[in-house]
Amino acid sequence: MPHVHFDSLKKPDKGDIVLFVFEGKEGGDSFRFINKILDGALDRALKANNFTGKLGEVCALIAPNTCYSQVAVVGLGPQVQFSIPQARRVGGIALEKLQGKVHALKLMADWDFTELAAHIVLGIVLKNYAFDGYKTKKNPSNSQKLTEIYVYASDYEGAEQQWQKLNPLAYGVYQTRDLVNEPANHLTPPLFAERIKELESLGIEVEILNKSQMEHFGFGALLGVAQGSNQEPKTVIMSWKGAPHDPQPPLAFVGKGVTFDSGGISIKPSNGMEDMKMDMAGAATVVGLMVTLAKRKAKTNVIGVVGLVENMLSGDAQRPGDIVKSASGQTIEVLNTDAEGRLVLADILWYTQDRFKPRFMINLATLTGAIVVALGHVYAGLFSNNDELAERLYTIGCKVGEKMWRMPLGEEYDKALDGDFADMKNIGGRDGGSITAAQFLQRFVSTTPWAHIDIAGTAYTDKDNANGPKGATAFGVYVLNEFIETYYEN
Ligand code: BES
Ligand code: MG
Ligand code: ZN
């Protein structure tokens, strides 16, 4: 994680400088400042490039004088349209253009730049993320990571305060990405549980349920998924008590943590199966959220529950047609062993609701390929039994740029799950696949306000973009942190 320093608007003596301009507007003080030092070279370069300041447009001068190695001007688009997600994007783009060549970036900021500056910094920090610990030979062209960011701004104290609020989020996102990117041989359920246990140093209470404890609680659905693997399943309960005197029940977040989803006996095609190391992204998002809350000492009480299992094939694996009994007492015919996420969630949703009686329960899961068909990689699917909860998640998602689209629930869909030989089946057919999956989850939620976020399309990206490199995105950490801060703190 780069160090971020803040200082008044002054002349940086050397290095790589980035300036920001809105579309169709004159550059502010910082621009004039540097332009003057460079005898008008910035103005001339922008004219020669027909630079208009469109969002993400970059004009870079290489070694314009003996002090500066690079001066880049980055467009912010029209000022009236500028938003938090755009600030992050612009930061990511700025680094993208320069990455590998710089270890220190000097941002110069003016206008009413205070808040924006911090969001641009966040964009840079998130873009600078890399998961390269397993590469024994570093590629010299991209191994030089950014280590320092300097922000020179007129209201630098304000910008610094804003950054203090966002810095914990950067930690949370890094944590989630690290977990999701970790290959399944290095992140088995027991190893995942150990990684969570380390968070006790942040003041998060961690409780780990082992297999026999889960047997005791009757987690037949979760254990059925785990039985084909040599790895012992774990359920981990995290608790952040930031408001010890608050008499209200806690908020609860629940995550699917399938450390590898081979599909089980209903095995997946081999092409692309490697991506199924990310099938624990829901759990990793809950963990990253807890880290963020602890780092910023959030004044609220939050429970995080993750079900960690590996879905494998073996002589002990669960078979299509097997009938299992969930913690709720309801029985399930497992017609497809690849519809395993809902089996894991069935038990931990029930357990969380029963034990903590939370104010609401939000689960995150890479649950269905069908949500990718419906919404692509832009919006996550949002399902809820509570309009206020859905509304709030939707609103904050738009604000911070982790967008969710509400999908329907209803009896007509639910019927598809009625079982022939047990209370229900674990699949409802191809049509409306992400909705019937959500209906399945709802059968394990009683009257608790509940939302299910299907992040199968948004948790992972197959190529580099302005938000970060190929791999985990940590979608959900930002929106849920902001959602808690907006509605559930004092
Ligand atoms: N983990 C997958 C869903 C998934 C797909 C996540 C693509 C990320 C990217 C889930 O366990 C699964 O296999 N779902 C099946 C359900 C089907 C058998 C009813 C699917 O979507 O095909
Ligand atoms: Mg599956
Ligand atoms: Zn899965």
Angle of helix 156-181 relative to helix 477-487, nearest 10 degrees?
A: 130
294 within some domain: yes
Residue 102 pLDDT: 85
The finding on whether 370 has its CB within 6 A of some atom of ligand 1 is: yes
Report the distance separating Cα 183 and Cα 332, nearest Å: 31
Do 105 and 224 sit in the same domain of this protein? no
Do 137 and 194 sit in the same domain of this protein? no
166 within some domain: no
382 within some domain: yes
Q: Which of 135-149, 210-224, 322-336 has the lowest mean pLDDT?
A: 135-149
Do 268 and 122 sit in the same domain of this protein? no
The whole domain housing 204 covers: 171-487
d(CA 340, ligand 2 centre) in Å: 5
Residue 109 pLDDT: 72
Domain's final residue, options 156, 190, 209: 156
Do 69 and 200 sit in the same domain of this protein? no
161 within some domain: no
Do 123 and 176 sit in the same domain of this protein? no
Do 120 and 49 sit in the same domain of this protein? yes
401 within some domain: yes
The finding on whether 341 has its CB within 6 A of some atom of ligand 1 is: yes
Return the number of other C-beta atoms located less than 10 Å from residue 230's C-beta. 9
Residue 140 has pLDDT above 70, yes or no: no
Return the number of other C-beta atoms located less than 10 Å from residue 66's C-beta. 6
The finding on whether 336 has its CB within 6 A of some atom of ligand 1 is: yes
Do 261 and 122 sit in the same domain of this protein? no
Q: Any catalytic annotation for residue 342?
A: yes
The finding on whether 338 has its CB within 6 A of some atom of ligand 1 is: yes
Residue 142 pLDDT: 56
Report the distance separating Cα 393 and Cα 328, nearest Å: 28
Predicted confidence (pLDDT) per residue in 86-96, tens digit: 999 999 999 98
Q: Is the pTM of this model over 0.85?
A: yes
- List 342, 403, 425, 443, catalytic entry: 342
Task: Tell me which of 338, 342, 452 to substitute to probe ligand 1's pocket, judged by most ligand atoms within 8 Å of the beta carbon.
Answer: 338
The finding on whether 454 has its CB within 6 A of some atom of ligand 1 is: no
Q: Is the dihedral of CA 182, 183, 185, 187 positive or negative?
A: positive
164 within some domain: no
Do 246 and 353 sit in the same domain of this protein? yes
DSSP line for 208-237: EE-HHHHHHTT-HHHHHHHTTSSSPPEEEE
d(CA 303, ligand 3 centre) in Å: 23
For residue 143, name the pLDDT band (cuts at 50, 70, 90): low
For residue 99, name the pLDDT band (cuts at 50, 70, 90): low
Q: Any catalytic annotation for residue 268?
A: yes
Domain's final residue, options 156, 188, 213: 156
Do 111 and 256 sit in the same domain of this protein? no
- From the CA of 278, give the closest atom in ligand 1: 8
Task: Tell me which of 364, 368, 461, 473 to substitute to probe ligand 1's pocket, judged by most ligand atoms within 8 Å of the beta carbon.
Answer: 368
Residue 488 pLDDT: 98
Number of domains in the chain: 2
- List 97, 211, 268, 406, catalytic entry: 268
Do 29 and 70 sit in the same domain of this protein? yes
The finding on whether 46 has its CB within 6 A of some atom of ligand 1 is: no
Predicted confidence (pLDDT) per residue in 334-383, tens digit: 999 999 999 999 999 999 999 999 999 999 999 999 999 999 999 999 99
Do 346 and 394 sit in the same domain of this protein? yes
Predicted confidence (pLDDT) per residue in 398-420, tens digit: 999 999 999 999 999 999 999 99
Do 212 and 356 sit in the same domain of this protein? yes
